[in-house]
Amino acid sequence: MKAADFSSNGEFLSRLAQLALEAGRVILDVYATEFAVSSKADNSPVTEADQRAEAVILAGLKALAPEIPVIAEEECAAGRMPETGARFFLVDPLDGTREFLARNGEFTVNIALIEAGVPIVGVVHAPALGVLYAGRPGHAFKAKVEGEALGDEIAIAVSSAPPHPRVVGSRSHGSPQTAEWLRRFPGHSFVSAGSSLKFCLLAEGAADLYPRHGRTMEWDTAAGDAVLRAAGGGVVTLDGAPLLYGKRRQAADSDFANPFFVAYGDPALAASIARLPDAAAS
């Protein structure tokens, strides 16, 4: 497959989706057992499911596009972080490990392709919920997982923001700063969700804003960001600048760490976010 085809070729997106399904099946195999839990150097939890799913994805991406480097969460935790150019993959084999441990189903497989700092293709698969979201420029869809295959694709798009926005936030990583920031939107409603599913709720028009005043890494957000962008939304930092990827050698943080951000559905909300007073200080 030619490099120029990656962002526009439906076959490429389909193959990423199939790879996410394979990883999801491995995760569910572990989910059905009494699995062990370990802690990484940053004290975040990791299980056999994270490791086995990442191995499946890495092997699949090597076969699909061996020339493109891959930044994957568990590889990075082990100190294996290849150099990247303008184009690279970001992989979180099991986003929402705390949701996995809580057995609430709200965990996902995330695979994204980055081009010049922008997530242009992404797949988010929630294996326990039996649903997959995917996007490439101009095309975003949702599909149920039927057995080992995807059902019919349903096109998704963001919705126009209502007067009182519907806000989605983290189920396991709430923040007092987020609660304070949301005072700017009196009358908003709020629902919690785990993992990158928050981006997908915006992408399918079921929510309007997702503010995040907490630590995330690029592999946590890239796939959901790609789906959201494909559906017509976006993600900005608190000063209104687009969230970019491939952040290395950061003076104030580690490689691939994100600043605080706000994801939105209706692009009109992006202008509102940038105009809000003291946004950068929240």
**Distances in whole angstroms, Cα of residue 34 to Cα of each of 101, 167, 188:** 10, 35, 40
Query: Is 220 among the annotated ligand-binding positions?
Result: yes
DSSP 130-192: TEEEEEETTEEEEEEEETTEE---EE----PPPSS-EEEEESS---HHHHHHGGGSTT-EEEE
Query: Is 92 among the annotated ligand-binding positions?
Result: yes
Phi, psi at 222, each rounded to 5° = -60, -45
Count of CB atoms situated within 10 Å of the CB of 88 = 19
Taking the chain, what is the end-to-end CA distance rounded to the nearest angstrom?
45
Handedness of CA 51, 89, 197, 179 (dihedral sign): positive
* Most distant pair of Cα atoms in the chain: their distance: 50
Give the tokens for residue 249. Answer: 């050698």
Query: Is 24 among the annotated ligand-binding positions?
Result: no
Residue type, 66: P
CA distance 18 to 68: 18
Query: Is 73 among the annotated ligand-binding positions?
Result: yes
Q: In what order do the strands lie in the sheet with 234-237?
A: 189-193, 166-170, 209-212, 261-264, 234-237
Query: Is 96 among the annotated ligand-binding positions?
Result: yes
Query: Is 61 among the annotated ligand-binding positions?
Result: no
CA distance 89 to 113: 5
Query: Is 95 among the annotated ligand-binding positions?
Result: yes
Q: Residue positions in the annotated binding site for substrate? A: 73, 94-97, 220
Q: Residue positions in the annotated binding site? A: 73, 92, 94-97, 220
Q: Residue positions in the annotated binding site for Mg(2+)? A: 73, 92, 94-95, 220
